[in-house]
Amino acid sequence: MTTIQNRQQTRFLSGIQSSGKLHLGNYFGAIKQHIELQEQGDAFYFIANYHALTTVNDPERMRELTLDVARTYLALGLDPERAVLFRQSDIPELHELAWFLATVTGMGLLERAHSYKDKVARGIPAKVGLFYYPVLMAADILAYQSNVVPVGADQVQHVEMTRDMAGYFNNTYREVFTMPDFKVNEATKTLPGTDGQKMSKSYGNTIEIFADGKELKKSVMGIVTDSTPVEDPKDPETNVVFQLYSTVASPEEIQTMADAFRAGGYGYGTAKKALLERLDAYFAPARARHAELVKNPDYVEQVLARGALRAREEAGKTISAARRACGLD
């Protein structure tokens, strides 16, 4: 088996917050792509529990959500022999690196962050951590000298800001940081939630990856639809149920549902039942693996501990170079 240590290829870096149970938007927008990329180069994936502190303040919940992100990646196919999986909080070097970046970054750059403005507009308190978020995210990316960052379209600005910060530092001192490029999965559109908005934990409109039984049924049957009568034709392309169905059904099944919508006489209730069936079947194997990992926490901790050692090794090299550049060696 080809391992991380003997591959000299592209280095991918991405992370996912442990701020809630992972959902279909996380899977189709990020996790699926991450797992595919582990075959194409060095892959470093972290559980962003430092970032999650901006919204999660219950310590027991934080611990459980952090472990569940790890279980989810492993259940869905991440191979710890091919990819580095680790907790952000196991890498203390990040904060020193973030401070280096903060000393060369202007306030104006952070004030332009879409994510910060959007969250404040939704009523999330404008705390320093939320404002500082892009700096820590830049440290996450630059610490491992990653050159490709797989992200959703809504995160592209953060990678661009990271490039700006790396440039500020390299120009002020000397070239220490690799300039990363973003990689957006063009095949994956932003997935709608049960209310038609972008699927997001903060909106409370998600369908969890490993939901089953009554929980899954409640989420799917609760999808908001319009009042078009059953007998009338409907446009599948603007329908949330059809958009979600398209992520888990075969091409033939997708075409059949689209034709049924356009012909009329096909109700949203029937479509939701088809979606429920396909979701349950699509994630059944991974759901079973996830259940086994819940029973084996020691294995999950071993994976995270090994990942942290590898990540700290790389972050330590970067910090040493940055300290020398600043004259702090």
Q: Closest Cα partner for 84 from 296, 264, 305, 320?
A: 305
Catalytic-labelled residue, pool 32, 183, 189, 198: 198
- The question of whether 183 is a catalytic residue gets the answer no
Instruction: Name the phi and psi angles at 249, rounded to 5.
Output: -95, 165
Contacts of residue 54, defined as CB under 8 A and 6 or more positions apart, other chains included, come to 124, 127, 129, 130, 133
**Is 273 marked active-site?**
no
C-alpha torsion angle, residues 98, 103, 107, 113 (rounded to 10): -20
Q: Is 21 a catalytic residue?
A: no
Q: What is the DSSP letter of 139?
A: H
What is 14-42 written as a DSSP string? Answer: EEEE-SS--BHHHIIIIIHHHHHHTTTSE
Q: Alpha-carbon distance 51 to 88, whole Å?
A: 9
DSSP string, 53-108: TTT---HHHHHHHHHHHHHHHHHTT--TTTEEEEEGGG-THHHHHHHHHHTT--HH
3-state secondary structure of 283: coil
Quote the CA–CA distance of 129 and 132 in Å, as a whole number: 5
What is the Cα–Cα distance from 39 to 13, expressed in whole angstroms? 14
Active-site residue list: 119, 198, 201
